[in-house]
Amino acid sequence: MNFLTIPIINRAFLSPMAGFTDRPFRRICKRLEAGFVFGEFVSADGLVHESRNTFKLLEFLEEERPFGIQIFGSDPKIMARASKMVEKFKPNVLDINFGCPVHKVVKRGAGAALLRDLDRLEAIAKAVSDATDLPVTAKIRMGWSMDEIVACEAAHRLERAGVQAVTLHARTKTMGYTGEAVWSAIGDVKRAVAIPVIGNGDIKTASDARRMIRETGCDFVMIGRGAIGNPWIFKETADLLESGREIEPPSLQERGAVCLQQFQWALDFYGFSKGLFEMRKHLAAYAKGLPGAGQFRTTLMKLNQPEEVMQLIRRFFFKSNAGYFRNQGLP
């Protein structure tokens, strides 16, 4: 199975998400069979101004491949320069963000703002495609609002500009992350272009992923918020698409093992203070829906030492099953 010419093991990809798809979480998703992973989106302006923090977002490990870097910006020349800088890090794909609805991005004329200026959107896509030898993909939304649906025209222009695949988040800018994703729009885009189409929006289970593919005809699916606290969704989707078999959800102990592994990787990557800060939202998501999750979150917010957090994870997820814990060789 390939995405473009890149071998993959699964048609379900991890979406780029600011504040979430850092290296520790990507490694977890890859180990749980994500077909492709993307890092957090990167400012083209930050790259050309050589921001140290921005460059850190471009780093990844070989085990994360196939790996994509997503950039955003509003100036074709700056985006072209940024793409040449990204090229040095040798990701498998360079993605352009034309869909972010967040105000601080849109007010700079980037992200979803470009759905109201398709000439500039196409110019950016062409400038990036011409500047780099990397495969270029793009992520869009349906349009600015339900009264301004431009997904098919945008996808057609992107294809014409040299973009090799397009992801559609089936919401508008004004919808943000609320309301129900309009999956029929994915099917419309699939019929409008010859390049691969990746569907995105409201995939919370493996069954959702299969249903999106069946209903829209999209080639791949991209999972964002549905993977937070539930990275097993990738393995579950792979099994369901390949064999039609629904596998058992992870046990409490399996959840705990993943929590401990991701927490340790976060400590290694960030150091303790920032590692704990970044992991709190992930640990709360892993506990969500389980008995005692509220108390778990409350206690977690009060802890300031690594061993205290690990002990909390052990008590909550492993409870009295210390033998399982020791057998896994966990921290």
The residues carrying an active-site annotation are: 100
* CA distances (Å), origin 123, targets 73, 127, 128, 162, 242: 12, 6, 9, 11, 39
Return all residues near 104 (Cβ < 8 A) that are at least 6 apart: none
Residue type, 177: Y
DSSP string computed for 53-80 = HHHHTT---GGG-SEEEEEE-S-HHHHH
Cα(240)–Cα(32) distance, rounded to whole angstroms? 14
Alpha carbon of 130 to those of 64, 103, 127: distances in Å? 26, 29, 5
Give dist(CA 133, CA 131) in Å, integer. Answer: 7
- Cβ–Cβ under 8 Å, residues 10 and 238: yes
Closest residue by Cα to residue 321 from 275, 240, 232, 257: 257
Rounded Cα distance between 322 and 331, Å, is: 12
**Nearest-angstrom CA–CA distance, 120 and 101:** 17
3-state secondary structure 135-158: CEEEEEECECCCCCECHHHHHHHH
Q: Give the H/E segment covering residue 43.
A: strand 42-43
Residue with structure tokens 């991701």? 262
